[in-house]
């Protein structure tokens, strides 16, 4: 898929940031500023989301992964550090499985290996029904509140809902189907690159069994559990989030 819009800043080794459901590249503004001091940071908007709302959304996680890989090919990026949040973490797992030699390090944040998300705050079928009846803006306002420990009172909530409302209804609906049909568990053993799993201890989307599955099945993995946060750790405790990621990226392979 050509013409995928993105944000980019910095120089050095390339770091790719993949947003999640009803997200966009703009959700990574603080991370781009923080990490571009040491890396060439690329943050794409997934088809149908953020400033790519005019593009047709993908109905599979693999399709989204291939869209991001195509953008990186266009940018002539052969190797990169990869971080994915939520649905973006599923996409990152798929990207790493498709091109394991390209991914130097992997950060899986607020995510899991099973798209159906057992014990999620609500079943995906309910989210699909509510999306069709309420529309995108009301859906992100409702669902987005569950992504913060402080819910609608969280400082990051207004920005998140503004970005989420840019998604096309088609892409929002297609992505729910894409998640529901995706299962990445068999691929975990093949993700041999150094990997960091980050999880907020009050995450209502991806519960502990999902995170534990990543932690116990990926060969070279570290786990960071962030207390007092939910699904949007990078917006809830940005300084701590940046410190955790930076520590992992600065570590030598021998310490992983």
The DSSP symbol for 221 reads E
Q: How far apart are CA 21 and CA 27, in angstroms?
A: 11
- The whole-number average pLDDT for the span 84-113 is 98
Contact yes or no for 65/98 (Cβ under 8 A): yes
Sorted by where each starts, the structural domains of the chain and their CATH numbers stand as: 6-255 (3.40.50.1820)
Q: List pLDDT tens digits, range 147-161.
A: 999 999 999 999 999
CA angle 34, 38, 44 (to 5 degrees): 65
Task: State pTM to two decimals.
Answer: 0.96
Residue 2 predicted with pLDDT over 70: no
pLDDT exceeds cutoff 90 at 38: yes
User: Hey, which bits of the chain come out as E strands?
Assistant: 6-9, 14-18, 40-44, 80-85, 103-109, 195-200, 221-226
Q: Measured between alpha carbons, how far is 61 from 68 in angstroms, rounded to an integer? A: 11
Residue percentage of the chain with pLDDT more than 90: 95
């Amino acid at each position: 898929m050509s013409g995928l819009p993105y944000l980019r800043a910095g120089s050095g080794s390339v770091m790719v940031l993949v947003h999640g459901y009803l997200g966009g590249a703009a959700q990574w503004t603080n991370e781009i500023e923080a990490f571009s001091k040491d890396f060439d940071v690329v943050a794409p908007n997934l088809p149908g989301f953020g400033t790519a709302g005019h593009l047709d959304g993908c109905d599979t996680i693999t399709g989204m992964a291939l869209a991001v890989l195509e953008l990186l090919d266009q940018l002539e990026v052969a190797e990169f550090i990869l971080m994915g949040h939520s649905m973006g973490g599923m996409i990152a797992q798929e990207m790493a499985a498709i091109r394991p030699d390209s991914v130097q390090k992997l950060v899986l944040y607020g995510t899991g290996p099973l798209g159906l998300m057992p014990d999620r705050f609500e079943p995906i079928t309910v989210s699909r029904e509510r999306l069709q009846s309420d529309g995108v803006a009301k859906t992100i306002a409702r669902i987005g509140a569950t992504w913060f420990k402080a819910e609608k009172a969280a400082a990051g909530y207004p920005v998140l809902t503004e970005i989420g409302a840019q998604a096309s209804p088609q892409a929002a609906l297609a992505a729910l189907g894409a998640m529901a049909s995706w299962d990445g568990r068999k691929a975990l053993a093949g993700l041999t690159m150094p990997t960091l799993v980050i999880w907020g201890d009050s995450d209502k989307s991806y519960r502990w069994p999902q995170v534990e599955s990543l932690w116990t099945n990926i060969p070279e993995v570290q786990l960071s559990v962030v207390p007092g946060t939910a699904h949007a750790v990078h917006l809830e405790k940005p300084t701590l989030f940046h410190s955790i990621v930076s520590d992992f990226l600065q570590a030598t392979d021998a310490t992983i």
